[in-house]
C-alpha cells in the first residue's frame, strides 16, 4: 500500500483509535450491564430455539462426541479426571455421605418389605384355598401355608445357630483334643440340635408370643387367655411339634378342617396361631372368641 493509500485510511484509523480509547475509559460494570442486556435481548428472540434446531439438524453433538472419541481426547479427559485427587475425594465424600447411606438403607428396607409382603399375601391367600371349610368371612386364625412359611424361616435360623455353635465347639475341641468314642460325638450332635431348637421355640413362644419367622409373616401365638403361653405350655407345644412332624407332618392335617385351624401342638398346649393384621381381625369378629380348650 502506497502513501496515497495510507493517507486515505488515516481517518478510519483515527476513528478506530478514538473508539477504543473511549471503550477503555468506560467502567467495567457498565460494560457488563450492557453485555447482559444484549444477551437478554437475544434470549428474548427465537435465537436459542434456532441454535438448538440448527445444532440438531447438523448433528453437532454427535460430530463433536465422535471426534473426541476418535482422537482419544475424551478418554484422556476421563482418565485425568478420575486419576485426580480432587475427583477421588469427591467420589469418596459422596459415597460415604449420610444422605447416600440413608438412601441405600431405604432402598434395601423397601425391597425387603416388599418381598416379605408378597410372600405374606400369597401365603394368606393359599391358606383360604387349602381349607376345607366354607367361610363367609376371612378367618383370623393362621392356616397351613402361612404357618409353614414361618416354620421354614425359623428352621433356617435354628440351623444357622446350630452350625455356628458346632463350629465353635469343633474349634475348641481341636485345641484340647477330640472326643471319644465316635458314637458319643454323634449322640451329642443330634441331641444338641434338638436342644437348640427347643430353647429357640420355647424362648420366643413364651417370651414374645412369636418367633422371628412368625413376626415376618405377622403371626402370633396365644394361650387360652389370649396372652403368650407360659414356659410350661410352650414346652408342651414344642413336644407336640415333634410329634406332629415325625409322621410326615401329618399332625398338621387338622388345621385344614378345624374351625380355629389348630394342629396337634395346639390341641396339646391349648394354643391358637392368629394373624396380626387388624383388618383381618375386624372382618372376622365371628371367629375371634378366645380359645377354651
As a whole number, mean pLDDT of residues 38-46 equals: 77
* Contact assessment for residue 129 and residue 256, using Cβ atoms and an 8 Å cutoff: no
In residues, how long is the chain? 293
Banded model confidence at residue 30, pLDDT cuts 50, 70, 90: low
Residue in the structure block whose three cell numbers are 434338638: 194
As a whole number, mean pLDDT of residues 206-215 equals: 95
pLDDT at 143 over 80: yes
CA distance 131 to 134: 8
pLDDT the model gives residue 31: 62
pLDDT at 275 over 50: yes
Task: Provide the percentage of residues in the chain whose pLDDT is more than 90.
Answer: 34
Residue in the structure block whose three cell numbers are 444357622: 160
- Residue 237: which residues within 8 A CB-CB, separation 6 or more? 201, 205, 221, 229, 265, 266, 268, 269, 271
pLDDT the model gives residue 199: 94
The model's pTM is 0.61
Whole-number average pLDDT of the chain: 79
- Residue 272: which residues within 8 A CB-CB, separation 6 or more? 141, 221, 222, 260, 262, 266, 291
Phi first, then psi: what are they for 143, rounded to 5°? -95, -170
pLDDT at 188 over 80: no
pLDDT at 20 over 80: no
Banded model confidence at residue 232, pLDDT cuts 50, 70, 90: very high
pLDDT the model gives residue 45: 82
Banded model confidence at residue 291, pLDDT cuts 50, 70, 90: very low
Task: Provide the percentage of residues in the chain whose pLDDT is more than 70.
Answer: 75
As a whole number, mean pLDDT of residues 64-90 equals: 75
pLDDT at 278 over 60: no
pLDDT the model gives residue 46: 80
Banded model confidence at residue 167, pLDDT cuts 50, 70, 90: confident
CA distance 130 to 224: 26
- Per residue in 91-115, pLDDT (tens digit) is 777 667 787 777 767 776 677 788 8
Q: Tell me the sheet residues that pair with 273.
A: 221
CA distance 193 to 174: 20
CA distance 79 to 185: 60
pLDDT the model gives residue 147: 95
Amino acid at each position: 500500500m502506497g502513501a496515497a493509500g495510507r493517507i486515505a485510511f488515516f481517518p478510519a484509523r483515527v476513528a478506530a483509535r478514538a473508539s477504543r480509547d473511549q471503550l477503555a475509559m468506560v467502567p467495567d460494570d457498565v460494560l457488563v450491564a450492557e453485555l447482559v442486556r444484549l444477551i437478554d435481548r437475544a434470549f428474548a428472540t427465537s435465537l436459542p430455539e434456532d441454535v438448538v434446531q440448527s445444532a440438531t439438524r447438523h448433528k453437532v453433538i454427535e460430530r463433536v462426541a465422535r471426534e473426541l472419541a476418535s482422537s482419544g481426547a475424551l478418554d484422556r479427559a476421563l482418565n485425568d479426571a478420575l486419576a485426580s485427587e480432587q475427583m477421588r475425594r469427591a467420589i469418596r465424600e459422596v459415597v460415604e455421605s449420610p444422605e447416600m447411606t440413608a438412601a441405600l438403607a431405604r432402598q434395601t428396607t423397601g425391597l425387603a418389605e416388599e418381598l416379605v409382603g408378597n410372600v405374606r399375601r400369597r401365603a394368606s391367600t393359599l391358606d383360604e384355598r387349602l381349607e376345607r371349610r366354607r367361610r363367609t368371612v376371612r378367618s383370623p386364625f393362621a392356616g397351613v401355608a402361612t404357618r409353614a412359611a414361618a416354620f421354614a424361616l425359623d428352621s433356617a435360623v435354628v440351623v444357622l445357630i446350630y452350625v455356628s455353635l458346632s463350629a465353635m465347639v469343633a474349634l475348641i475341641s481341636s485345641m484340647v483334643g477330640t472326643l471319644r468314642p465316635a458314637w458319643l460325638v454323634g449322640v451329642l450332635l443330634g441331641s444338641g440340635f434338638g436342644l437348640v431348637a427347643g430353647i429357640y421355640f420355647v424362648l420366643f413362644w413364651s417370651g414374645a408370643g412369636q418367633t422371628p419367622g412368625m413376626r415376618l409373616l405377622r403371626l402370633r401365638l396365644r394361650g387360652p387367655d389370649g396372652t403368650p403361653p407360659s414356659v410350661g405350655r410352650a414346652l408342651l407345644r414344642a413336644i407336640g411339634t415333634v410329634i406332629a412332624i415325625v409322621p410326615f407332618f401329618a399332625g398338621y392335617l387338622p388345621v385344614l378342617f378345624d374351625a380355629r385351624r389348630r394342629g396337634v401342638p395346639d390341641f396339646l398346649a391349648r394354643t391358637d396361631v392368629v394373624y396380626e393384621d387388624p383388618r383381618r381381625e375386624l372382618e372376622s369378629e365371628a371367629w375371634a372368641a378366645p380359645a377354651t380348650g
